[in-house]
Structure 1
Amino acid sequence: MNGSIVRSDGTVLLVGGAGGDNRQLRQLLVEAAQVVAADSGADWLHEIGHTPDALIGDLDSVSPAARGALPPDRVRHIAEQDSTDFDKALRSIDAPLTIGIGFLGRRVDHMLAAMTVLCRYPQRAVLLVGEDDVIVHLPPHLDISLQPGTRVSLFPMRELRGRSTGLTWPIDGLSFAPDTRTGTSNRALGPVSLTMQMPGMLLILPASERSALQSALAQCDAMWPAP
Structure 2
Amino acid sequence: MYPVEVVTLFPDSVSGYLGASILGKAQEKGLLGVTVTYIRDYAEGKHRVTDDTPYGGGAGMVMKPEPLVAAIEAARARAPAGAKVLLMSPRGPVFTQARARELAKEPGLILVCGRYEGVDERVMPYLDGEVSLGDFILTGGEVAALAVVDAVARLLPGVLGNEVSSVTESFEEGLLEHPHYTRPPVFRGAEVPAALQSGDHARIARWRRWKALQLTRERRPDLYARLEFNKADLKLLSKKEEEL
Same-fold status (TM-score > 0.5): no
Higher helix proportion? 2
What TM-score results when the alignment is normalised by the length of structure 1? 0.29
Looking at secondary structure, tell me which structure has more strand per residue.
1
The structure whose Rg is larger is: 2
